[in-house]
């Protein structure tokens, strides 16, 4: 029986594994995809908003070429940390359920079962896009993740969304000769867009280099066009590709199978100790760590503050483990 099984091998899951091992707990990390799987969906050479020291885990220095690290440097850093700590990792193994109770859980995966006294869920939120649920959304031309601008050069590209991801993609694709149209549900580019990106995209819109429809939604997607609902009425525009950068959400289906309740609030927050002392959920012995704690409020927790969840969770576990017998 493991002392703790950690679900998710992103930076916060790795931080939890390091903390557990260093305090002599027998820990297993299970990840449905690759190490730091969410990073694989990030744009090529994406620059993090945080400086490297705020992404560090386990006390390992994060050296970068420039002031802010890029995606590839982060992938390399977290891999090196996992190897240096000799973390017990099961990759490409999806968790499917959780049986038992505090002190005697059975973690079910698509490959095996594992006994554990405690469980930590650090699955983030980036794996499931917020769908528009409109006709044509499943066409091959529609993508919910942006990697790089090159596929869209010299094409008519619609970018749906007004946040950081949409703004950065719009600028990059425009500068690689795509005919970019932004479709934004609100009346302006989001206030949360980073201060060096927001004026750039607004100026491109004002000068007409990037076309933008505000207070607008998509009604339907066809092979060669988009149907829009604009303040002036229905509109149809020519279109080759759609980047639906409408945000992402936690895997609520998995949370349900793990027995974690969801609050009836706007963010659909998973139930846990929100005072930040233990991060234990409504299910005793099951903890949340990292961005998953915020539910659909993806601006509350990041790597830079979520990595500190590990110490509090492990300290709470240890206090409880010493007093808990293993029951059949």
What pLDDT shows up at residue 99? 98
- CA atoms within 13 Å, Cβ hemisphere of 101: 5
By DSSP bridging, strand 233-238 and strand 225-230 are: antiparallel
Residue 78 falls in which region: left (phi positive, over 0), alpha (psi -120 to 50) or beta: alpha
Cα 159 to Cα 174: distance, rounded to the nearest angstrom: 11
What pLDDT shows up at residue 323? 65
As beta bridge partners, residue 225 has: 238
What pLDDT shows up at residue 321? 83
What pLDDT shows up at residue 325? 56
By DSSP bridging, strand 241-244 and strand 113-121 are: unpaired
What pLDDT shows up at residue 127? 82
Which domains are present in the chain?
Answer: 2-128+248-321 (3.50.50.60), 131-244 (3.50.50.60)
Element (H, E) at 238: strand 233-238
Using only C-alpha atoms, the chain has a radius of gyration, in whole angstroms, of 22
CA distances (Å), 203 to each of 148, 167, 175, 259, in order?
22, 12, 14, 48
What pLDDT shows up at residue 82? 98
What pLDDT shows up at residue 255? 98
From the first residue on, what is the mean pLDDT of each consecutive set of 10 residues in the chain (328 residues)? 98 98 98 96 92 96 93 98 98 98 98 98 93 97 97 98 96 98 97 94 98 98 98 97 95 97 96 94 98 92 94 95 61
Cα 206 to Cα 210: distance, rounded to the nearest angstrom: 8
């Amino acid at each position: 029986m493991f002392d703790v099984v950690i679900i998710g091998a992103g930076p916060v899951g790795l931080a939890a594994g390091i903390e557990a091992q260093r305090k002599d707990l027998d820990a297993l990390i299970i990840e449905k995809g690759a190490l730091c799987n969410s990073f694989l969906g990030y744009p090529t050479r994406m620059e993090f908003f945080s400086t490297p020291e705020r992404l560090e885990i386990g006390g390992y220095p994060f050296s970068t070429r420039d002031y802010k690290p890029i995606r590839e440097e982060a992938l390399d850093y977290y891999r090196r940390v996992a190897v240096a700590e000799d973390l017990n990792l099961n990759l490409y193994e999806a968790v499917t359920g959780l049986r038992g109770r505090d002190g005697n859980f059975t973690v079910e995966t698509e490959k095996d079962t594992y006994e554990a006294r405690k469980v930590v869920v650090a699955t983030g939120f980036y794996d499931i896009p917020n769908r528009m649920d409109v006709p044509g959304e499943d066409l091959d031309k529609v993508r919910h993740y942006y990697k790089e601008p090159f596929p869209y050069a010299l094409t008519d590209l619609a970018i749906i969304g007004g946040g950081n991801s949409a703004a950065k993609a719009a600028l990059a694709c425009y500068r690689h000769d795509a005919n970019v149209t932004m479709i934004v549900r609100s009346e302006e580019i989001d206030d949360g867009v980073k201060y060096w990106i927001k004026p750039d995209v607004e100026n491109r819109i004002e000068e007409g280099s990037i076309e933008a429809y505000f207070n607008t939604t998509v009604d339907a997607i066809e092979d060669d066009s988009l149907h829009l609902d604009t303040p002036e009425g229905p509109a149809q525009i020519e279109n080759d590709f759609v980047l639906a950068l409408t945000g992402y959400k936690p895997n609520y289906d998995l949370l349900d199978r793990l027995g974690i309740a969801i609050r009836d609030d706007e963010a659909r927050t998973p139930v846990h100790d929100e005072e930040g002392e233990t991060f234990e959920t409504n299910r005793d012995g099951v903890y949340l760590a990292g961005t998953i704690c915020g539910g659909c409020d993806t601006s509350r927790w990041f790597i830079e503050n979520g990595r500190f969840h590990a110490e509090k969770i492990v300290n709470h576990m240890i206090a409880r483990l010493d007093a808990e017998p293993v029951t059949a």
